[in-house]
Amino acid sequence: MKTQTWLIRSLIAATILISANAFADRSLLNVSYDPTRELYQEYNQEFAKYWQGKTKETVTIQQSHGGAGKQARAVIDGLDADVLTLALSYDIDQIAKKAKLLPKEWQKRLPHNSTPYTSTIVFLVRKGNPKKIKDWGDLVKPGIAVITPNPKTSGGARYNYLAAWAYAEKTLGSPAAAKDFMKKLFKNVPVLDSGARGATTTFIQRGIGDVLLAWENEAFLAINELGEGKFDIIVPPTSILAETPVAVVDNVVNKHGTRDLAEAYLNYLYSPAGQKLAAKHYYRPISPELADPKDLARFPKLHLFTVNEQFGGWEKAQKDHFDDGGSFDQIYTP
């Protein structure tokens, strides 16, 4: 008898829960890449507050993080992402091309090529920089262990790779010399993780390697939160501008009836509140005047080049370097 009452009670509870959910306010799924966890945790709360103040509607925002390539593939395979906040435009291009979930011109729909904040690649070294690593050229010296993820699977690693390649091509003068440089560099890489977070773990928790090629925000996170006093950030004189774009997924928001919400969610990234949060979480805001000057002071000045000017866009960079038979495959061919 007792179990029966219990069963009935839980059934009633379940029914209430389900129907409550059905009448609940809307929710959004934001599919992002690895190192944005902390940023969006805070941003989602901030946005929910703003949205409630504006429309009295309570929204739930769900987050999904992972290597950029894996995330894009999940969306192509049917993960119902309302918005994408990925590491590089190539991955969103692929979603537009392969799954046709959003128009090919998606990048023109929001200001600054749909990029509300940018980042770059810096070096994270052990405290005091015992191996004296200052510039990209130091990475190929014998005896230096470099930690970087696999560029085939990680967006961050592709920026790492292109940044090193551009340095080599500029200082050594030819693509052939650059390839040789990259070959030497990857001889110094003892572990290839599949995502940026994995590489950070290898460097920080496992203590492997002398230098981690890292997203700037990931490097700041490492020195401030993961291992205070154990690491230094080294900013090379030149690096790559990592344009991390955002987009609304048209097919999904049409299906969910969440277009207004999704658009507001991304637009709010450009607002003073969004820009402040981006800078707080070590992303370079696209409108620095809106961010806290104290946060901005943390970003060192360096010469940043873009994928477009240096490599003729992502499509070409991907083909030349990361597709099968590209330069990354070539440098590993024995």
Partner 1 sequence: MQKHQQKLNMRQSHVIQGFAPTLGLTIVYLSLVVLIPLSTLVFKSLQLTWDEYLNVIGNARVIASFRVSFLTALAAATITSFFGFIIAWVLVRYPFPGKRFLDALIDLPFALPTAVAGIVLATIYQPSGVLGQFLQDTFDLKVAYTPLGIVVALIFISLPFVVRTVEPVLQEFDFTMEEAASSLGASRWQVFVKIVFPNIFPALLTGFALSFARGIGEYGSVIFIAGNLPYVSEVIPLLIVTKLEQYDYAGATVIALTMLVASFLLLLLINLLQMWVRKRSGQL
User: d(Cα 52, Cα 56) in Å, to the nearest integer?
Assistant: 4
Indicate the length of the chain as a whole number: 334
* 6 binding partner 1? (CB under 8 A): no
* Residue 67 interacts with partner 1 (CB under 8 A): yes or no: yes
Q: Does 192 bind partner 1 (CB under 8 A)?
A: yes
Q: Can residue 322 be called a binding residue for partner 1 (CB under 8 A)?
A: yes
**Could you tell me which residues come within 8 angstroms of residue 195 by beta carbon, excluding any fewer than 6 positions away?**
34, 66, 67, 70, 149, 153, 154, 156
Write out the binding residues for partner 1, residues 282-321 only, by CB under 8 A: none
Residue for token pair 């190539």: 90
CB-wise, 192 or 291, nearer to partner 1?
Answer: 192
List the one residue from 35, 43, 47, 69 that touches partner 1 (CB under 8 A).
69
Burial call 143-176: b when 16+ CB within 10 Å, e when fewer: ebbbbbbbbbbbbbbbbbbbbbbbbbbeeeeeee
- Alpha-carbon separation of residue 290 from 78, 131, 246, 284 (angstroms): 37, 38, 19, 11
**Applying CB under 8 A, does 39 fall inside the site for partner 1?**
no
CB of 241 to partner 1, least distance (A): 24
**Cα separation, 168 vs 183, whole angstroms:** 11
Q: Which of 193, 210, 216, 218 is close enough to bind partner 1 by CB under 8 A?
A: 193
Binding track, positions 72-91, relative to partner 1; x by CB under 8 A: -x--x---------------
**Based on CB atoms, which residue is closest to partner 1, 190 or 312?**
190
Does 126 participate in binding partner 1 (rule CB under 8 A)? no
β pairing state of 211-215 and 246-248: unpaired
Tokens 């940023």 locate to: 39
Among positions 152, 158, 281, 284, the unique one binding partner 1 when judged by CB under 8 A: 152
Binding status of residue 102 toward partner 1 by CB under 8 A: no
| Rg, the chain, Cα only | 22
Contact range with partner 1 by CB under 8 A, out of 23-31, 36-44, 145-153, 268-276: 145-153
| Site residues for partner 1 per CB under 8 A | 67, 69-70, 73, 76, 94, 98, 150, 152-153, 189-194, 205-208, 322-324, 329, 332-334
